[in-house]
């Protein structure tokens, strides 16, 4: 029996307060990886509002990678024109739409965080096939259905700064929005709900559970369960809807793979959470703040 988890959990939103400096030059190099390990130089203030709770991260002297040596932080005219012409935009979820790597957070919740995070780094860097890394990570902690449910209740999604505004802007410009992730539907459905993205616009993996809630594995038929899967998903979308131009936004090697003939025309590397240099250098456009994308849209 396949166990499906759904959740209507309110998000914990994180907003960067540093003033945006220019239209295209990245405003910060925030690297917010761990839920309880905020990057050096970041002050956190909890602001009480009505639901959801807002965590304000005020950037002062932010550490992290230097961006000066990247030549693609300012888009070419061709890239900018193509971005504005897109009829569909596909987002990676972990470390892009959300601040965390979902499988790492679930593993930490289940007591196997460090070992799984090491595998994630290898997978996102492209050094091992994705399907191998996915199976190896899950085998390290074998999450039960009840553990996944408890995780979703206790760890609401943490959205990246500006993502809600960007999705709203894309929709206002009549662009279709998709989530294409190597993560799990059980954890992505609540994110899609927050952003107003229909479930049929999600391509992701599915955790499988037995009748007693025991972990059985994952659905290997999902295209995103293997290397090249995001490219396959994008190609399927392109063929089904006839999109004239399509962009993929993400941080990892599997996102970069989506840019190929019949797939994504444009790959935008979002490095506001994780900067993977091998991926960033090959992007059409490297951004550290979603406001760069918002401000570029007419």
Provide the annotated active-site residues: 92, 94
Biggest CA–CA distance in the chain, Å, is: 56
Instruction: Round to whole Å and give the CA distance between 107 and 93.
Output: 17
The 10 Å Cβ neighbour count of residue 68 is 7
Instruction: Round to whole Å and give the CA distance between 230 and 74.
Output: 26
Rounded to 5 degrees, φ, ψ at 236 are: -65, -45
CB 244 within 8 A of CB 34: no
How far is CA 201 from its chain centroid? 14
Task: Characterize the bridge pairing of strands 215-218 and 207-209.
Answer: antiparallel
The 10 Å Cβ neighbour count of residue 156 is 18
The 10 Å Cβ neighbour count of residue 184 is 25
For the chain, report the end-to-end CA distance as a whole number of angstroms. 48
Instruction: Round to whole Å and give the CA distance between 226 and 133.
Output: 9
Query: ω before 52 within 30° of 0 (cis)?
Result: yes
How far is CA 185 from its chain centroid? 13
Quick one: which of 293, 271, 291 has its CA closest to 15? 291
């Amino acid at each position: 029996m396949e166990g499906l988890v759904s959740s209507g959990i309110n998000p914990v939103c994180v907003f960067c307060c540093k003033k945006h400096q220019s239209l295209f030059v990245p405003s910060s190099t925030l690297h917010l990886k761990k839920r309880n390990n905020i990057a050096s130089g970041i002050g956190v203030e909890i602001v009480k509002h009505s639901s959801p709770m807002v965590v304000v991260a005020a950037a002062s002297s932010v550490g992290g990678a230097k961006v000066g040596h990247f030549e693609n932080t300012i888009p070419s005219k061709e890239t900018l024109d193509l971005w504005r012409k897109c009829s569909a935009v596909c987002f990676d979820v972990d470390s892009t739409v959300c601040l965390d790597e979902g499988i790492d957070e679930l593993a930490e919740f289940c007591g196997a965080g460090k070992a799984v995070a090491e595998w994630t780094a290898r997978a996102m860097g492209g050094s091992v096939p994705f399907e191998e890394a996915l199976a190896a990570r899950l085998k390290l902690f074998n999450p039960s259905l009840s553990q996944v449910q408890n995780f979703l209740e206790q760890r609401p999604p943490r959205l990246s700064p500006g993502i809600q505004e960007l999705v709203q802007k894309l929709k206002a410009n009549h662009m279709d929005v998709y989530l294409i992730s190597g993560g799990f539907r059980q954890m992505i459905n609540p994110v899609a709900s927050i952003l107003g993205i229909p479930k049929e616009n999600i391509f992701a993996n599915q955790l499988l559970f037995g009748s007693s809630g025991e972990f059985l594995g994952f659905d290997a038929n999902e295209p995103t369960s293997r290397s090249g899967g995001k490219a396959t998903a994008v190609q399927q979308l392109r063929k089904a809807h006839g999109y004239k131009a399509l962009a993929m936004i993400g941080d990892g090697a599997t996102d970069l793979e989506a840019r190929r003939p019949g797939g994504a025309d444009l790959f935008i590397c979002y490095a506001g959470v994780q900067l993977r240099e091998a991926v960033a250098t090959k992007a059409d456009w490297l951004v550290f703040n979603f406001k760069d994308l918002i401000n570029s849209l007419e």
